Each structure stands twice: as C-alpha cells, then as structure tokens.
Structure 1
Amino acid sequence: MFILTLNCRRYSVQYQLFDWRHLVSLATGSVERIVVGDSFITHEVPGRLPEHRERDCPDHLSALKLVLDTLTDPKVGVLTSVAKIKGIGHRVVHGGEKFTQSVLIDQEVVETIEEMAKLAPLHNTPNLAGIRAAQELLSDVPQVAIFDTAFHQTMPEEAYLYPLPYEWYEKHGIRRYGFHGQSHLYAARRGAALAGVEQDRANLVTIHTGDGVSLCAIRNGKSVDTSMGLTPLEGVMMGTRCGDIDPGIIPFMMNQAGVSAPEIDLFMNQKSGVAGIVGRRVNRRIVMNEANDGDERCRLALEMESYRLRKYLGAYIAVTGKPDAIVFTYGDGWADWPVRGLALAGMEQFGIKLDTERDLMALMGGQEMLVSADDSQVKVFVLPTGEDMVLNEDVATILGWRDLPA
C-alpha cells in the first residue's frame, strides 16, 4: 500500500513515497528549476546518502517522469515497478468554498481547481499541471486532492467576510479562505497533545513559518480565523510577500508611477517582504548573520517581521482567549528561523515567557521542543511540519485504507 504525495509548484515538484501499511517514509525529494532550465532532482532515502542528478525538465510531465524513473532506478530507487503505487495525493492550494475536505479527483474536481486558479494562479496552475501529469503517467491509480483551504472552512462569517460590497462575495467569491491548512491541522493536533488537552477543546495559536508565513486562531480545535485571505498574499510580512498593506498604495502607484496591474502583483508577491526591505531575495539565516554584522537593512527587515508577527499573535490571543499553547511549525530549511525569539520577546504580559536557551536549541530543528520557560503561563512549542502525514492520512481515508492493520 504505497502512497505517492506530490506538491507541484511553479518551478518545482516535491514528493514523498510512503508505505501506509508500515507507516514509514520510503523516499522523499524534489525536482527543481522546472521550465527555467538546469533542472535537477535531489532524492533521499533513509539510511542512504542523498542522490543528485541533473536532467532537463521543461514541464511538470517530464519532472514527474524523472521522479518515477528515480523511484524505480535499480541503484537508488525503492520500487521494482511504478505499479506498486496504489494512491496519489496532490496538495492543492485553493479549493474555494466547494471543498471542505479532501476528495477523489474526477473531471469535475479538475474543472473546479482550474476555476479557482483565478484566485491563486501561481499555485493552482502548477498543482493542476501535476495532476494532469500523474493522470497521464499513472492513469490507473486513484488520485486525491488535499486542499490548503479546507481546514479553514470552519471560520464564521464575521471572520471570513471582508467589509466590501456584499455582491462581490456573492458574484466573485471575494472572502478570506486561508492557506497552509494541512500544516495548521497537524500543528493543532500535536499542540493539543503536547499541551495535554483534548483536541476538540484546545484553544491554540498555530504559526506556519517558511518563505510563506501564516497564523491560525484555533478555538475548540477548529480554525476560527487565519491571517492569509483571498490569496496567500495577505497577513504578516513574509520572505517575498508584503502581507498587510494600505490598499490605497495600489492605485497610488498605478497613477503616480505608471505601474501596471501585473507589475503590482509581481512586486507584492515576489519583490516585497524581507526581499523588498533587504533589496534581494535571501534566506533568513543570511539576513540574521548580516544583521549581526551591522547591516541596517537586514536588521530592519528582522525587526519589521517580528513586530508584525507579534501584532497578529496578540490579536489572535484576543480571539481564542488565553491559549493552551502557541505552536510554531516549520518545513525543511526553516528550523533556523530567527524571528520567533524576537517576536515573543516582551510578551510576559500575555503569560508568554520564552526560555532563550531552549529557543536556541530549537534552531537545530528536527524534533518537537518546548521553548517556553517553566514558569510561562502559556506553553510554546516548536515542531517540524507534518503536512506529508496529513496528505497520506487523507489519501488512505479516501481510498478506504484507514482500518487496515499496520
């Protein structure tokens, strides 16, 4: 019972092969620089050295073929045949209001994902390319769509509606949808368990960190508010996204500087956030090091990011009441995220007290850690994201495998 999960992005495909019967990951990896050239695959199998291979991948179809070829390679693979794959899970960013849970993919689902691409073109379009590639290469394998937005469909109207003309919502679906749903769901489950609270009674603030950052206010185990909105652009300051800004800036720049709508979209999504303040796209470890070396723009970027995160955190505590825990969850490469400590500094009035030594140890990543002080009224946990496990569980559930013996 092998499950292949795919996260297809604009220029990359991330994958995991999972043995559901034995609940173990067999292989993970990614194909990078799809379309743009000089593409390559990095393939990792537990207990082995990572495998790096260069292969031209002009599209997602060729990228997925490379993944399948690598998984079945006699030297580095883990499968004798792709026929061993019995289920495929696709991470899909935007499902709109139609999908409140994961679904088996059929033509209607494909058409809805395509329709929702107008709300998330940078995400749904490559998600759909991955689905079509898998349908072509593994046509007999059932495929499941797992939506980022589904977890947040429990938000009440006062949280998800914008104070705009109501007909915009009725005609165009303008509302808050939220993203990183699998990550927030996993963080909510683990946060409740670590705090010793039943999940359906847990009040939490979960924070997904990475190049994209979002917060979720969880009351009684359900999402009641989240920082990302109609698109993943809203919310806190991120790696390349601006997050919340005065919307009046957009017509001002269009009128005063002649910036076009596509250019505005590019600037806000790819040339803002930390990259906009620092002046280049760079990871936070470098930003932190250069800030320590006296670079004022890097220092400013960290302070801005942590300040805006602190504001959201305070607002969500007002929504949840005193939380049982605050849970930071990160993906690969973001265990060194330095903003956490800066954002939580000085929040003792909210019952949050960080243990700086524990927080420093958490920068090593790779495990669940308590980073709050022993006398902190609110526990703070840091843990690796479990998005892949959520995808695997949903595929198994949809395909009726959940009750199989391990």
Structure 2
Amino acid sequence: MPNANVLVINSGSSSLKFAVINSVNGDEIVSGLGECFGMPEATIAWKLNGIKTEEAITAADNHHANAITRIVKLIEDENLTDTIVAVGHRIVHGGEKFTKTVRIDSEVLAEIENLSDLAPLHNPAGAKGIHAAMAAFPSLPQFAVFDTAFHQTMPQKAFTGAISHELYEKYGIRRYGFHGTSHYYVSREAAKMLDKPVEQCNFITVHLGNGASVCAIKDGQSVDTSMGFTPLAGLMMGTRSGDLDPGIIEFLMKKGWTQEQVFDTLNKKSGFLGVSGITSDARGILQAMEEGHEGAKLAFQVFTYRVAKYIGSYLIPLDALDAIIFTGGIGENSLDIRREILNNLNLLGFVEDKKGNEDARFGASGIVAKSELLDALAVVIPTNEEFVIAQQSVELL
C-alpha cells in the first residue's frame, strides 16, 4: 500500500502530540508536540528529517484547533497530504462501551464526551482533538483507539471492586486499566521474539514511565491490570501515589484539607517526587542516589519493591509464564531499576544476564534474565503506541 500513512493525534488537556506514521513498517515521517495550551507561552514543535522546529501558537481560547491548523500546513508543505489515508486518535477512556478501535461518527464522538465523568482531564481533550481534526480533514476517515479497550477481556472477578454492586450499576465504578495499547503492542512483539502464536502466550507486561502499570496477559488477552477506575491506582509513579489506604483521604479532610488539595497531592506531588522530595524523574532519582541522597534511595527502593510485588501477584491469574516484559521510558532504559526488580524476584528463579541487560537499552530489545524454575524469560521491548494506533486505523479501512 503506497499511501499507508496515518496522522496520529494524542490530545491532552493542555497539550497535543502528533505524528505521521507509516502503518506498514512503523516509520515515523514527522512527529511533534504542542504544549502549554491555555497559556501565553503555548508552542508547537516538530521533528522532520532530524531537524527540530518550534513556533508559538496564538489565540489561547482555541489552541487545539490552531495546533491542528499548523499541522495541516506542515503536512501540505511537505507534500504528505495525498499519502495520509486516515487520522487515528488516542482516547484514554472507552468505559465498557468500546472494546476495540472504532471509526468515529457523531454517535461515537457523543459517547466519548459522555464518558468524560470517568476521565475528566482526558476525554474532553480527546474530543477537542477529534472536532478539530474532523474540521481540518473532512474527507479522511477518523478512528478512536482506547487505552481501556485491551483490558475489557478481564474476567468479572478481576475488574469488580469489593464495594456495593449498586455503585457499579449506577456509576460504572470498576477496574478499567490503562496503557492498553502499550501492553497490547509489546505482548505481540514478544510473541514474535519467542516465535510463538500470541494466543498461546502468557506474559506479565511492565510499563514503567512517568505513569506505570502492570498487566497479566493470558493466551494473548488481558486478564488483570494494576491501574483501576482511574490511572491513580496500582504502582507508585512519577508523581502519583499508586495504591494507598482510602482512609487516608478521610483522615486528611478531617485535618482541614480540601478535596482539591488531597487529590492534587495524590496525583501531582506523590510517587518519586513525594518520597524523594526532590524529583519525579527516575534519572534524577538515580543520580541523587549516587550522591548519597537518602530520600532518593528510599524512593528507588519503594518503587522497585512495589513493581516486584505486583509481578509476583500476577502469576496467580496465569497457568504458565513465558516472559516478563519491561517497556516504557524507565522499563526500556533504566538498567539499575530493572536489575533491582529482578533481584526482588529472586524466589522466582530469575538470574540476570548482565550483558543482555546492559545491551537492552535506548531502543534495543533483548533478553535480560532467565528463570529455569519457571522456564521463563525477562525481556525488554520498546513500546510503540503510535504504531498500534496507525495499524488499527488502517485495518478498519
């Protein structure tokens, strides 16, 4: 297919990522980021042929539309218009309505907006991106790829909360899970690495970045995942707390904290940043550890311990294990964090391949450990969520 490029849009509340990707081989022709939307310093930057360009965006009341207008001009200037066959949108929450990628029409768009209660920061922004893209590319088919869709195969016992069933029936409160496109992609790539049909594979996928989650994959399908009703649950993250006693929320509010203060702290001032007191970035944590910073050392220990605990618990829904898969910015690149997680899994028999672990960084896949006890591997596979969005959009054409 000569014209197989897809414009992929990931629209956030104050930003918009984009890329033009070849849906056949995954080549990224151009990619960029618009950020600081709603503020005077809003900009859009892109990388093309190894050269980065940045421009200011005007009209703060409509930065999403203006960013897409600039993207359209960029596409036209580079003579890419006729090569693009679809626009694919990353949408965070599909609720129980969307279990796979869908073509966007007025009904789908309305449903995405209706699900805003479940993702108040993300779905309205995604809808803004769709509106702007449909106005800019009226003749191109547009598709929505949902973070939650891959996890809709979880059994009821995995997604049901131990609360009144009325809360599920009335408000849809349950475990949804996120990072679905990442867990989907790396599990398929790992199956290729093992030369085995993905439908016969059992994995524990570990997406570690500023946001982090673990997923148990049985016979190629998600059967459990660490994020929950919102992306706040599960692992400790860059600024998110992950799992904690919900009684803490009541305790703080009785101490005079407002609801906004509590959730701002749990979402933006916890995790690496909260425990270390210095940074939300794993690289900064590791550097500070080398300099003897006790808070950074504790953050490193809490994070790696919690990841290992989740990996161990996710053996429960599996009958066998083919591989633990590390991905995401931290999972792909941090040798020290992977090593400590594997050390914490010593009882499962994982023995680090030190050279393999050192080599599997900065875009390289590879085997980093083996367990003879489980007859399983630990591997690194760089994720490519944009490629998934491009592929699934074209598959529906």
Name the TM tier (shorter chain): over 0.9
Q: TM-score, normalized by length of structure 2? A: 0.92
Q: TM-score, normalized by length of structure 1? A: 0.91
Secondary structure in 2 matching 1:96: coil
Match of 1:395 in 2: 393
Match of 1:7 in 2: 10
- 1:72 paired with 2:60, answer no
- 1:268 paired with 2:269, answer no
Q: Is the 8 A contact 2:151 2:176 kept in 1?
A: yes
- 1:115 paired with 2:114, answer yes
Match of 2:39 in 1: 36
Secondary structure in 2 matching 1:16: strand
Match of 2:347 in 1: 349
Measure how far apart 1:179 and its partner are: 0.6
- 1:314 paired with 2:289, answer no
What is the CA deviation profile of residues 247-301 of structure 1, one whole-angstrom value per residue up to 9, with x for unaligned ones? 1000110112x11222222111111111111224442111101111101111111
Match of 2:224 in 1: 225
Q: Which amino acid is the alignment partner of residue 186 of structure 2? A: A
Q: Is the 8 A contact 1:370 1:380 kept in 2?
A: yes
What is the CA deviation profile of residues 26-83 of structure 1, one whole-angstrom value per residue up to 9, with x for unaligned ones? 22222222223423333223xx33222121253211122222223333xxxx325x45
Q: Which stretch of structure 1 is more off in the superposition, 60-69 or 126-135?
A: 60-69
Q: Is the 8 A contact 1:152 1:226 kept in 2?
A: yes
Match of 1:104 in 2: 103
Q: Is the 8 A contact 1:285 1:338 kept in 2?
A: no
Measure how far apart 1:165 and its partner are: 0.1
> Within 5 Å, which residues of 2 pair with 1:114-153?
114-153=113-152
Gaps of 5+ in 2: none
* Cα RMSD for the two superposed structures: 2.0
User: Between Structure 1 and Structure 2, how many residues are aligned?
Assistant: 390
The alpha-carbon distance between structure 1 residues 219 and 334, as it changes in their structure 2 partners (threshold 3 A), is closer
- 1:367 paired with 2:364, answer yes
Secondary structure in 1 matching 2:379: strand
Q: Is the 8 A contact 2:17 2:34 kept in 1?
A: yes
Q: Is the 8 A contact 2:308 2:344 kept in 1?
A: no
Q: Is the 8 A contact 1:38 1:54 kept in 2?
A: no
Measure how far apart 1:333 and its partner are: 10
Secondary structure in 1 matching 2:333: coil
Secondary structure in 2 matching 1:245: coil
Q: Is the 8 A contact 2:30 2:47 kept in 1?
A: yes
Q: Is the 8 A contact 2:272 2:299 kept in 1?
A: yes
> Within 5 Å, which residues of 2 pair with 1:271-350?
271-331=269-329, 335-336=333-334, 338-350=336-348
Match of 1:244 in 2: 243
Q: Which stretch of structure 1 is more off in the superposition, 371-380 or 242-251?
A: 371-380
The alpha-carbon distance between structure 1 residues 369 and 334, as it changes in their structure 2 partners (threshold 3 A), is closer
Q: Is the 8 A contact 2:116 2:124 kept in 1?
A: yes
Match of 1:404 in 2: none
Secondary structure in 2 matching 1:109: helix
Secondary structure in 2 matching 1:371: strand
What is the CA deviation profile of residues 96-146 of structure 1, one whole-angstrom value per residue up to 9, with x for unaligned ones? 000011111112111211121111112212111111111222222211000
Q: Which stretch of structure 1 is more off in the superposition, 62-71 or 120-129?
A: 62-71
Give the distance between the partners of 2:310 and 2:150, measured in 1 at CA.
19
Match of 2:20 in 1: 17
Secondary structure in 1 matching 2:37: coil
Q: Which stretch of structure 1 is more off in the superposition, 237-246 or 5-14?
A: 5-14
Percent identity at matched positions? 37
Q: Which amino acid is the alignment partner of residue 296 of structure 1? A: E
